[in-house]
Amino acid sequence: MEILANIINGASLGSVYAIIALGYTMVYGIAKMLNFAHGDVIMVGAYVCFCAVSYLGLPALAGVLISVVACTVLGIVVERLAYKPLRNAPSLNVLITAIGVSYFLQNAALLIMGSDPKSFSSIISLPALQLFDGKLTISATAVITILACVVIMAALTMFTGKTKMGKAMRACSEDRDAAQLMGINVNSTISMVFAIGSGLAAIAGVLMCSAYPTLMPTTGSMPGIKAFTAAVLGGIGSIPGAALGGILLGIIEILARAYISTQLADAVVFAVLIIMLLIRPAGLLGKPVNEKV
Amino acid sequence: MGIKALNPQTRSTIITYAIVIVAFIAVTLLDGMGFISNSLSGQLVPICAYVSLAVSLNLVVGVSGELSLGHAGFMSVGAFTGVVVAGCLARMGVDSEIVLFVGAAVVGAIAAGIIGFLVGIPVMRLRGDYLAIVTLAFGEIIKNLLNNFYIGIDDAGLHFSMTDTASLGMNQGTILINGPKGAVGIDKISTFVLGIILVLITVAVVLNLMHSRDGRAIMAVRDNRIAAESVGINVTKYRLMAFTVASALAGAAGVLYAMNYSTITPSQFDFNQSILILVYVVLGGMGNISGSIISAAFLTVLPEILRPINQYRMLLYAIVLILVMVVPHTRIYQRIAEALRGRLRKAPADAAIAAEGGEGDE
Amino acid sequence: MSKFSDFARARREGTKMVPVPSVSIMPERDLGKAPALECLHLGIDFGGLKAVDDFNITVGRTEICGLIGPNGAGKTTVFNLLTKVYQPTRGTIMVDGQDTAGMNPARVNQMGVARTFQNIRLFDSMTVEENVAVGLHNQHHCGMATSILRLPHHWKSEKYYHERALELLDIFDMTGLADHEAGSLPYGAQRRLEIVRALATNPKLLLLDEPAAGMNPSETAELMENIVKIRDRFQIAIMLIEHDMNLVMNICEGICVLNFGKIIAKGTPEEIQQNDAVIEAYLGKQKEVEA
């Protein structure tokens, strides 16, 4: 029973990673950049929701909505101001800019909200699920997190597969110049991807803080790195890969924490990543790219 | 000593050494006259450490062209090895600070070099962003492992454990490394002079390597891997060489850094530390050693300079970082730069075009 | 132009082509020695598609051999197989009598195969001289520690690289460009530098992938002269892919025509020019042309 509970908790944490990783992977696919500030958008999302619920007294769902809107706007603004001028710059310059944005968001949050951790009250007030005569208890947060991940995955797959905008996104990530020649507005497509990714990050932030209620300006960095790891593990650029990688990573992390060592859990997670990449250098669902000679 | 007295390579080499030496003399003079504040003079050794780290990371990122996000890991391997070595030497009765430091730095560098080599073997099979994430992963693994290391020394020798200090089973010994609490009671033997010497050694190693047979091979692999293979260069060997040398140099810099504080913890050497060093390298310019030196020194001092606006300094630091990256790519900046360049270089440029025209190509 | 063609034809008239056992031909003067290159049933599949199949060829020690064919025929793939950029699915490659099975590109180069690339691949941020010095990498050794400590051997090595690089650059009168950045060179000079860099590795077989692409007629004429000059001076075999038929027909002694990954004809330039299969591959069927 215990192992089942751990796997479900792992899948729940993994769902958070997966939702964040979706943002990473979509941005990488289209803009070919590692958006290191993505983890901090999670933190912003959680703070916005926290403020809306605790200070303004709004209902939880409204808090989530406001936080999604705020992060979506934030994503678009950051892209326009910081990343768009660097569209043709070396990728490392973009990386450093993203790190600058990450520092900026963290320190802005520090100034506004202070360094003391805020206790985030879960937005989900449903009772925990009791299964097998109470032998297995699953928190409602875990269930809803996993459900949210499934819904988001399905919606994104539909969106990229069926809609015009989604097809434009896929075209841009395949070959940006060719897409432009076919009349696709690359700039607005990239903005769209940042908007979606940041909106998802807000949801991830709220869900994560519902499960792990300590909220600090640096709350987003470690999940951000883990989600990035998950995106690479699944094959960066691949949407199902990000989901698979995220959930696997979450399960491995929780199992390692439970059965190996709490302190070494992260080491185990990263070791698994390394081993996986050595076996499949392009990630689980990534396609290897051969250089044309 | 060069083949031609002052080709551009020799000139930039001389300038690089000159920057370090002039900075050293200037700081020493200013310090003697009392112009250097206490907080700033406390930063002198870390500045040297960060300069060495930036120069060594430039060997990987700039010269070899691989994005490494785990440099702090090798720094910490050096730092903790150095602490243990210095502890052992001190217990063996060595009391010369120079000997302690050199012993710690050499062994620290070797240990970091070995770890760098071992990490490099799997890492160098990967490319691009995958390589970057794996270096990040190794950095985090090293941090996590060090968080679980307990090392102590008594008359019977070194004791090692991965659970807690009690299981070391020591008999009135000294605890050198105490898990997440890190290394405690370090002899603060790093000095500015030692720091400058380490910087000069690091610069010499990197520049001498760059301007040699092996360095050219490393740069050839960076510029065009397939072409490098086609002229018989063992790509893995040279990527691994750059990675290992850089790791060893980072280890030495880690020793310098550690020996400046009485306590260091493994969590100081995390992903953010690696990123910080990477920022120095990118701002200073890829493969540009003097650029790394200047940007590492400047960016280490910047938060000190910004101390009067304490609250906002890290925010300002972030904004400076973004602006430095973004502004050169804005249209207004490019137009101004072009206008200036046009005015300054009009005459030589014309001459160059005339000379090229003589070539008669295309 | 015509002056040069006469020169090339005059050179070739001294060569008599004879058949050799492995269903191929080579210049008579190379008969007694092991061929520079021998391929037997070489082939590679890309996901079911036979990109190259049953490729057999023998290249004499000092032969200039042309590899021609329509676009997409698999010519560059053959070069990629010979240099092990791709591992062959089947068949054997013998360089100077030695099987290269299982070798990587670097090892194959050390065996004596050097190449240039269709889309130029120079070390762009390095100088012209450094590019050639990288080519000389395996011709002279100097360890890492020696270099870092700047021991006397390091300076001796640097002197060797410098002098040898200039000597090689002199083939194309490029010594004046030694300190220029390779990436900033004009197109033609970049192509020439690639050849010099390949020569620096001291090859037995030099593979040139469209050496005349993008060159004007006078540059091409100069290049033809230089290719022959290189062969004579270094006594090596040269295999080239080229679309400029003037160049191919004038300097190649043996020609191999590829279409859809298979050899459709082998022979002297005269034979190839009259071969029906070749004419069909290039121009389509006679009937269609008339219709």
Nearest by CB: B141 against A225, A267, A282: A267
What percent of chain B shows pLDDT beyond 90? 51
Nearest by CB: C124 against B215, B223, B361: B223
Nearest chain A Cα distance for residue B326, angstroms: 6
Predicted pLDDT at C281 = 82
Question: What are the chain A neighbours of B122 within 8 Å (beta carbons)?
Answer: 274, 278
B326 and A221 in contact by Cβ < 8 A? no
Structural domains in chain C, CATH included, are 2-112+203-290 (3.40.50.300), 122-202 (no CATH)
B223 and C141 in contact by Cβ < 8 A? no
- Model's pTM, two decimal places? 0.87
Predicted pLDDT at B36 = 80
Q: Which residues pair with C205 in a beta bridge?
A: C113, C237
Structural domains in chain B, CATH included, are 8-310 (1.10.3470)
CB A156 within 8 A of CB A22: yes
Predicted pLDDT at B252 = 97
Question: What are the chain C neighbours of A293 within 8 Å (beta carbons)?
Answer: 76, 80, 85, 117
pLDDT at residue B5 greater than cutoff 60: no
Counting as low any pLDDT under 70, the low residues of chain A are: 1, 133-134, 288-293
Indicate the residue type of B99.
Answer: V
Written in H, E and C, the secondary structure of chain C is CHHHHHHHHHHHHCCCEEEECCCEEEEHHHCCCCCCEEEEEEEEEECCEEEEEEEEEEECCCCEEEEECCCCCCHHHHHHHHCCCCCCCEEEEEECCEECCCCCHHHHHHHCEEECCCCCCCCCCCEHHHHHHHHCHHHCCCCHHHHHCCCHHHHHHHHHHHHHHHHHHHHHCCHHHCCCEHHHCCHHHHHHHHHHHHHHCCCCEEEEECCCCCCCHHHHHHHHHHHHHHHHHHCCEEEEECCCHHHHHHHCCEEEEEECCEEEEEECHHHHHCCHHHHHHHHCCHHHHHC
User: For the segment A80-100, what is each residue's pLDDT rounded down to a tens digit?
Assistant: 999 998 888 888 888 889 989
**Given CB atoms, is B22 within the 8 Å cutoff of chain A?**
no
**Which other chains touch chain A, taking contact as 3+ CB pairs less than 8 Å apart?**
B, C
Sheet of C262-267, strands arranged across:
C113-115, C205-209, C237-241, C64-68, C254-259, C262-267
Q: Which residues pair with C90 in a beta bridge?
A: C43
Q: What would the mean pLDDT of B46-67 be, rounded to a whole number?
A: 95
The region of weakest confidence among A181-195, B56-70, B239-253, B293-307 is B293-307
What percent of chain C shows pLDDT beyond 90? 67
**Which other chains touch chain B, taking contact as 3+ CB pairs less than 8 Å apart?**
A, C
Q: Which own/partner pairs from B97-105 qualify as long-range (CB within 8 Å, at least 24 positions apart)?
A: B97/B187, B97/B189, B98/B194, B100/B187, B100/B189, B101/B189, B101/B190, B101/B194, B101/B255, B101/B259, B104/B255, B104/B259, B105/B78, B105/B198, B105/B252, B105/B255, B105/B256
Predicted pLDDT at B198 = 97
**Given CB atoms, is B283 within the 8 Å cutoff of chain A?**
yes
- Environment class of residue B343 by beta-carbon count within 10 Å: exposed (0-12), middle (13-18) or buried (19+)? exposed
- Interfacial C residues in 60-99 facing A (CB < 8 Å): 76, 80, 85
Predicted pLDDT at B292 = 95
Nearest chain B Cα distance for residue A285, angstroms: 14
Nearest chain C Cα distance for residue A290, angstroms: 11
Please report which confidence band the pLDDT of residue B316 belongs to, taking 50, 70 and 90 as the band edges. confident
**Given CB atoms, is C105 within the 8 Å cutoff of chain A?**
no
User: For the segment C113-150, what is each residue's pLDDT rounded down to a tens digit?
Assistant: 999 999 999 999 999 999 999 999 999 999 999 999 99
Q: What is the pLDDT along chain C (291 residues), one digit of tens a residue?
A: 444 455 555 555 666 665 544 456 777 787 778 889 999 889 999 888 899 999 999 999 999 999 999 888 999 999 999 999 999 999 999 998 889 988 999 999 999 999 999 999 999 999 999 999 999 999 999 999 999 999 999 999 999 999 999 999 999 899 999 999 999 999 889 999 999 999 999 999 999 999 998 888 999 999 999 999 999 999 999 999 999 999 999 999 999 999 999 999 898 999 888 888 888 888 776 554 444
Nearest chain C Cα distance for residue A292, angstroms: 10
**Which other chains touch chain C, taking contact as 3+ CB pairs less than 8 Å apart?**
A, B
- Interfacial A residues in 264-293 facing C (CB < 8 Å): 293
Question: What are the chain C neighbours of B204 within 8 Å (beta carbons)?
Answer: 148
Question: What are the chain A neighbours of C76 within 8 Å (beta carbons)?
Answer: 293
Nearest by CB: B326 against A86, A92, A261: A86
Which residues 6+ apart lie within 8 Å of B221 measured at CB?
Answer: B64, B65, B228, B233, B235, B238, B239
Q: Which of B57, B124, B131, B133 to mutate to test the interface with A (most CBs of A within 10 A)?
A: B133
Question: What are the chain B neighbours of C110 within 8 Å (beta carbons)?
Answer: 232
Nearest by CB: B361 against C117, C188, C198: C188
In chain A, the residue whose alpha carbon lies closest to the alpha carbon of B274 is A99
C-alpha angle C42/C45/C46, rounded to 5°?
145
| Nearest Cα to Cα of residue A288 among B240, C90, B127, C49 | B127
C147 and B212 in contact by Cβ < 8 A? yes
A283 and B147 in contact by Cβ < 8 A? no
The region of weakest confidence among B10-19, B329-338, C171-180, C229-238 is B329-338
**Given CB atoms, is A17 within the 8 Å cutoff of chain B?**
no
